[in-house]
Amino acid sequence: MITIKNLSKTYKTPSGETRALQNIDCTIPDGQWVSITGPSGSGKSTLANVIAGILAPDPGGHCRIVLDEDNLDLDVCMANDTQKSELRTGAIAFIHQDFNLISYLSVLENVVLPDILRKKKPDWDKARSILAQLSIESKENNMPDELSGGQQQRVAIARALYSDARILMADEPTGNLDEISRDEIISIFKELHKNGMTMLVITHDHYLAGMAQIILHLEDGRLV
């Protein structure tokens, strides 16, 4: 479960302060599919980045993540850098809009990146099995720039599955894809959710947003 209370984020700029998030309160139960919607600049990516521990919020806010299966009970807003790093290589998998694959690593190496970052021995068989599950096993030795957008997105999803994350966060996962690739990715997301993964998906895609059980709509940094 993710419990967010009084969460705000202020950016300081040369022209003054910008309130990207303002007093957000919400609860996300385990296993729910949540769509985060709203116009550009409404705070969607900022909210996701705070939950994932990528951005630090303003003082006074709380974002508590409790996962009984992982023996995890962490207030991300109070966590240190090591705890937040472990969160992103363990309980949370973040799929960025630009896929965030490492250009000089092969597909297979990108999938096992969580273990590389944790300085653990990669489980190559597990990685290959996941690539096969996503029908891109033939691309394991390719470099990211040799793949289509849909294939790169599958590699990003494979990396999330490899990490055994319980929470999947995706920032505009279909935004850079053609219609066929988009539908394939949505089918994969449906299967992940069916298997119990908690999904937080930022999207402008009305069809994808409609897959969710909960919709968090942001405008000017506020939930509406």
Segment 203-216 shows an average pLDDT of 90
Q: What is the pLDDT of residue 201?
A: 94
Helix or strand holding residue 2 (H, E): strand 2-13
Segment 65-85 shows an average pLDDT of 88
Cβ 22 vs Cβ 60: under 8 Å: no
User: What's the pTM value of the predicted model, to 2 decimals?
Assistant: 0.85
Joined together, the tokens standing for residue 8 give: 């705000």
Which residues touch 141 (CB under 8 Å, ≥6 apart)? 106, 107, 108
Q: What is the pLDDT of residue 189?
A: 87
Q: What is the pLDDT of residue 37?
A: 94
Q: What is the pLDDT of residue 188?
A: 85
At 82-133, the pLDDT tens digits run 999 888 878 888 888 777 899 999 999 999 988 888 888 999 999 999 899 8
The dihedral sign for the CA sequence 162, 166, 167, 170:
positive
The whole-angstrom distance between residue 216's C-alpha and the CA centroid of its chain comes to 15
At 12-57, the pLDDT tens digits run 888 888 899 999 999 999 999 999 999 988 999 999 999 999 999 9
Q: What is the pLDDT of residue 177?
A: 77
Which residues touch 127 (CB under 8 Å, ≥6 apart)? 108, 111, 112, 140, 158, 162
Structural domains of the chain, ranges and CATH numbers in brackets:
1-91+167-174+197-224 (3.40.50.300)
At 136-184, the pLDDT tens digits run 999 999 999 999 888 898 898 888 888 878 899 998 888 777 888 888 8
> Can you tell me which residue has the tokens 């799929």?
95
Q: What is the pLDDT of residue 117?
A: 84
